[in-house]
Amino acid sequence: MVELAGVQQRYGDVVALGGADLTVARGELLAIVGPSGSGKSTLLNIMGTLSRPSRGTVRIDGHDVAALSDRELSALRARTIGFVFQQFHLSPGVPALDSVADGLLYSGTSRGERRRAAEAALRGVGLGHRLWHRPHELSGGEKQRVAIARAVLGDPPLLLADEPTGALDSRSGTAVLDLLHGLHRAGTTVVVITHDRDIAASLPREVRLRDGRIEHDSAHGSAYDSAAGAEVAR
């Protein structure tokens, strides 16, 4: 689903991401973990095709990102990738049903079809009883579930969740993680970006970043020196 080879991102003299090699298989559930400034957000933006790297190769669902025009890249993103962020990005005063339905606003489908799809997505995340509730009437956990329903509305094969529990209490956070596990079991590739080592350790695969480099990938069973491109003994 995701292939990064020698991916580097520079901002002037600052190397935000240095020589990252990462492959995410279709249907995987994994965490990308690291402290603030480690390169997580940069990696998310590149995996989500929100930015192009300074160097290296990025393939998403078999497509070489460098070979795509901006319009083609937008189309790939729309049909392939769902995003969930720590901040829910729900418009004040807009009911949950329409917040989710707006995810299909440019799909060419009618308002009725968009609302029917949104209702099914909200029921799928356990919010069938909150269709007409506005953001101020929802708990933090419910807001995040609305955001997840919106992200998976078009059934994208890849879901990128950036600190999805960061603004939630522990109980709501556990419920959101359970929901992500359910999406994974249904076949979605789920990548969770987090600073929380406990969350990362609870997922089947853990990729650790530090100072813009992958320092460990549990898929290799040992520490991984991405600069040298080889496993090293811990």
What domain range is 167 assigned to?
Answer: 2-231
Contact 161, 183 (CB under 8 A): no
pLDDT score recorded for residue 221: 63
From edge to edge, which strands make up the β-sheet containing 63-64? 14-24, 2-11, 55-60, 63-64
pLDDT > 90: what percent of the chain? 73
pLDDT score recorded for residue 234: 34
What's the pLDDT tens digit per position in 96-118? 999 999 888 767 788 899 999 99
User: Strand, helix or coil at 10?
Assistant: strand
**pTM (predicted TM-score):** 0.87
- Given a cut of 70, whether residue 227 has pLDDT beyond it is no
If one counts the domains in the chain, the total is 1
pLDDT score recorded for residue 231: 40
Q: In one letter, which amino acid is 193?
A: I
Contact 170, 7 (CB under 8 A): no
Residue 107 or 158, more confident: 158
How confident is the model over 163-187, as a mean pLDDT?
91
Which CATH number do you get for residue 187?
A: 3.40.50.300
User: Strand, helix or coil at 75?
Assistant: helix
In a 13 Å sphere around the CA of 19, the CA atoms on its Cβ side amount to 8
In a 13 Å sphere around the CA of 15, the CA atoms on its Cβ side amount to 12
User: Strand, helix or coil at 157?
Assistant: coil
How confident is the model over 190-211, as a mean pLDDT?
94
Instruction: Say which residues have a Cβ less than 8 Å from residue 104's Cβ, sequence separation at least 6.
Output: 113, 114, 117, 118, 153, 154
User: Strand, helix or coil at 229?
Assistant: coil
